[in-house]
Structure 1
Amino acid sequence: MRYRALAASMIAILVAGQVPAQAAEAESETCATPRFSDVGWTDISATTAIAGMILKSLGYTPKIDILSVAVTYEALPRGDVDVFLGNWMPLQDPIQRPLVEAGKIDVVQTNLEGAIIGLAVPKATYDAGLKTYSDIAKFGDDLGLKIYGIEAGSSANETISKMIAGDKFGLKDFQLVESSEQAMLAQVQRAVRSEKPIVFFGWRPHPMNVNIDMEYLTNGDDVFGPNDGAAEVLTNTRPGYVEECPNVGAFLKNFVFEVEQEDVLMSYILDDGMTADAAGEKWLKENPGVIDGWLAGVTTRDGKPGADAVRQGLGL
C-alpha cells in the first residue's frame, strides 16, 4: 500500500509538471500568429505594440494590420482578424452592440477604465469658477465667446456645434473654432502662459493631461455621453478565439492599463516622436512591475513560465 501511494504521488507530481506544456500544446497552430487590428489611434497603436512585443517574447509571431474601425468590425466576424484592443465605449456602441448580441464578436476584457471626452479648461480657469458647462456663458467675455475644437468633421465638433445651435447652456452667441489637434493644443498652451481663460475639447488618455494642468467640466447633461463623457475601452476578439487559443486568451484577460500609464505612453509618441514599438519598449522597461500581472497563468508557446520569458526578451 505504501508503495502504491508513493507511486500515485509521483504520477500526480509528473502530471502537474506537464500541465503548462499541455495547455500550450492544446492551442491550434493558427494560434501561433495572433492577428491584431490597429486603427491608428495613438493609444491603440501603443497598447497593440506592447501586446505584440510580449507575445513575441512568448514565442508567438503576432501580425498587426492598420485597419479602419469599420473594416475591423467586418474582419472580426469573418475571422480575418483575431484581436482588437480599441473598442471605445459608449462611442462605438452602435457598431459593437449588434455584433456582440449576434455572437459575431466576443468581448474579452475592459482594458482601460477612467477614459473621458468632453470640454476642459486650464486649472487656473477652473479655480476661477468655470467648473461646469453652465458656467461657460458666465465667462463669455473673458473667453471671447469661443470654444476650441479639433478638425472639421469630427464627432466632437459636431457635438459642440449642436450645443451652440441649440443654445444649450446659453451658448448661442459662442463660436466653435475648428483646427487641428496640434493647433488647438498650441492655443491652449498660449492661453495658459498668458493666464487667460480658454475652453477646449479634451480627452483622456492623451499627453495633454500630462503637459497641461487642466480640469474637465462637469454637469454636462450627458452631451458627450453618460457621466460627463466617461468612457472605457474593451478588448474584442473574433468569436470563440479565447477558447481556441486559451494561452493568448489568458494574456488578453490580464492585459489592462490605467489612464495615467497611457498618458505617458502617448507622450513618448506624440511629444518625443518615438515609434509605437520604441515607446512601448521604453515604457515596459520603466514599468517592469506590470509583467507579473499581465503574465499570470500565461506560458510561452512551449509551456515555460511566461513572465520569465518576457523579462528575458526585454533584457530585464
Structure 2
Amino acid sequence: MSTLPYLTCLKMGSLTTLLMASSFSYAQEPSQCQTVTFSDPGWTDIGATNGLTTTILDALGYQTNVLLLGVPIGFESLKSGEVDLFMGNWMPAQTGFIDKYKSDIDVVRTNLEGVKFTLAVPEYVYNAGVKDFADLNKFSSEFRKRIYGIEAGAPANQNIQKMIDTNDFDLAGWKVVESGEQAMLSQVNRSVRREQFIVFLGWEPHPMNVSFDLKYLSGGDEYFGPNYGGATIHTLSRKGYSQECRNVGRLVQNLQFSLAMENEIIDGILNQSQTGAVAAKAWLQENPDALDEWLEGVTTFDGKPGLVAVRSALSL
C-alpha cells in the first residue's frame, strides 16, 4: 500500500492544526484582560447597562467586577487603571470631568441617545404653576427651599448648587438635598402620596416616568442643556484599553442601547427586586436577536465563536 496518501493527509492535518493554532492565538485575549472592572455610580440605569455587559462577558468566559464609585472617584479610577470601563458618561452634564480627564481616558462610543435629565416636579405641582425654573422661588415655602438631588459629588448636584450660589432664578438660600437615587425616589414617593410640593432631579430612561405622573421643567438650558437636558450617554475606558484588550474593546464598541430597553430592565431592578444581572438576563432571553449585532466579530476569551457561547450560556 502506498504511503503517499498517508503523508499527504498527515501534512494537510498538520497544516490545519497549525492554522487553527495560529487563529486561536490571534483571537485569544492577553491573560490580564480576562478580568474586566466596571465603575457604577449607583444609578439604576447604569446598573442596567452594566448588567447587560457583564452578563455577556461572563458568558464569554471573562470575570467581571463592578465597583460602586461616585462619579469623581470613578473618573480617578479610570485614570489610575483600577477601572477598565464606565458605561455612564452623561453628556453634557459630565463635561467638566471629560475636560479634566480627556488625556487619561478614551471615549469608546455613544451608547444611548434621546435621554432627558433636568429638574422635575409631580404633575399636580406643574398644574399649580411650577412649569419653569423661574417659577420655583414663587413657591419657596411649599418646597421648603429644597431641591432633591442624587449622590454627593454628582455633577448635576453641582449644577444646582451653582444656581443657588449665583442666585440664579432667585434661588439664594435654597438647599440641595444630596442622597442616593433610591433615597431621592423614596422622598418623591412620600411627597406624591401626600400631594406635597417637591422638585427633584428627573431623567429618562427610568421607571419614574411610569411610576409617577411627572413633568420636566423648562428654563434650565444653561445648566442641563436644551430639550429638557437632552443628553447622550457614552462608554468610556481607561486609556489604551481597546488596543490592549481588543475583544472586549470590540464588544463595547458594538453595544448600543435604547430607552425602551433600559426602561424594561430598570423596571425589573426597581419593581421586581431583581439584580441588574438577573434583569438583564431576562431581557436578553426575551430579545435574543439583539445579540447578533452586539457579538459581531466578538469571540470568547479563549477565541471561540462568541454568539454561540452566549446563546448556549443563556439557554437561547
TM-score normalised per structure 1: 0.75
RMSD: 3.7
Which AA in structure 2 matches 1:81? Answer: V
* Distance in 2 (alpha carbons) for counterparts of 1:199 and 1:81: 34
Aligned to 2:100: 98
Quick check: 1:142–1:197 contact (8 Å CA) kept in 2? no
What are the residue-to-residue correspondences of 1:32-47 with 2, within 5 Å? Answer: 32-47=34-49
Aligned partners of 1:148 and 1:184 also within 8 Å: no
SS of 1:256's partner is: coil
Any idea what SS the aligned residue of 2:222 has? coil
Aligned to 1:6: none
Q: How far 1:51 sits from its partner (Å)?
A: 1.2
Instruction: Specify whether residues 106 and 128 from structure 1 end up closer, same or farther in structure 2 by C-alpha distance, changes over 3 A only.
Output: same
Paired with 1:70 and 1:164, the residues of 2 have a C-alpha distance of 21
Once residues 157 and 248 of structure 2 are traced to their aligned partners in structure 1, the CA distance between those partners, rounded to angstroms, is: 39
Structure 2 Cα separation of the partners of residues 162 and 73 of structure 1: 21
3-state SS of 1:106 partner: strand
SS of residue in 2 equivalent to 1:49: helix
Closer/same/farther in 2, CA of residues 258 and 312 from structure 1, 3 Å limit: same
**Number of residue pairs aligned between Structure 1 and Structure 2:** 295
Query: Helix, strand or coil: the match of 2:63?
Result: coil
Describe the superposition over 1:42-76 as per-residue Cα deviations: whole angstroms up to 9, x where unpaired. 22233223212111211222333334434433333
CA distance in 2, matches of 1:236, 1:221: 25
Alpha carbons 1:28, 1:245 under 8 Å: kept: yes
1:282–1:136 distance in 2 versus 1, CA, 3 Å: same
- Residue aligned with 2:93, SS: coil
C-alpha displacement of 1:257: 1.6
Q: 2:53 aligns with which of 27, 40, 51?
A: 51
> Aligned equivalents of 1:171 and 1:272: distance in 2?
38
After the TM superposition, which of the residue ranges 39-48 and 287-296 deviates more from structure 2? 39-48
| Contact kept in structure 2, 1:222 and 1:228, CA below 8 Å | no
Question: Conserved in 2, the CA contact under 8 Å of 1:105 and 1:237?
Answer: yes
Distance 1:20 1:313, change over 3 A: farther
Partner of 2:87: 85
- Superposed displacement of residue 212, structure 1: 1.8
Q: Pairwise mapping of residues 1-316 of structure 1 onto structure 2 (< 5 A)?
A: 21=24, 23-25=26-28, 27-100=29-102, 102=103, 104-123=104-123, 131-134=131-134, 140=139, 148-150=147-149, 156=156, 159-160=159-160, 163=163, 168-169=168-169, 178=177, 180-190=183-193, 199-225=199-225, 227-316=227-316
The residue number in structure 1 matching 2:3 is: none
The answer (yes or no) to whether the contact 1:292–1:307 under 8 Å persists in 2 is yes
Q: Cα offset for 1:95?
A: 2.7
Is the CA contact 2:36–2:84 (under 8 Å) kept in the aligned structure 1?
Answer: yes
Q: Which runs of 5+ in 2 are unaligned?
A: 1-11
Partner secondary structure for residue 257 of structure 1: coil
* Deviations, residues 169-213 of structure 1 (Å, cap 9, x unaligned): 4667x966848413432145326xx6x876443123322112123
Partner of 2:308: helix, strand, or coil? helix
Identical aligned residues as a percent = 43
CA distance, structure 1, for counterparts of residue 86 and residue 152 of structure 2: 25
Tell me the CA shift for residue 151 of structure 1: 6.4
Q: Distance in 2 between matches of 1:36 and 1:158?
A: 24
**Structure 1 251/162 Cα, relative in aligned 2: closer, same or farther at 3 Å?**
closer
Compare 243-252 and 277-286 and name the one that shifted more: 277-286
Q: In the TM superposition, what whole-angstrom CA distance separates every residue of 1:198-232 from its partner, at most 9, and x where no partner exists?
A: 64431233221121233312232423345542332
Residue by residue over 1:234-276, the C-alpha shift from the partner in whole angstroms, topping out at 9 and shown as x without a partner, is 2122222212222211100011222332233223222322222
Which amino acid is the alignment partner of residue 314 of structure 2? L
Letter in 1 for 2:148: G
Q: Which amino acid aligns with 2:233?
A: V
Relative to structure 1, the CA distance from residue 70 to residue 157 in structure 2 (aligned partners, 3 Å threshold; closer, same or farther) is closer
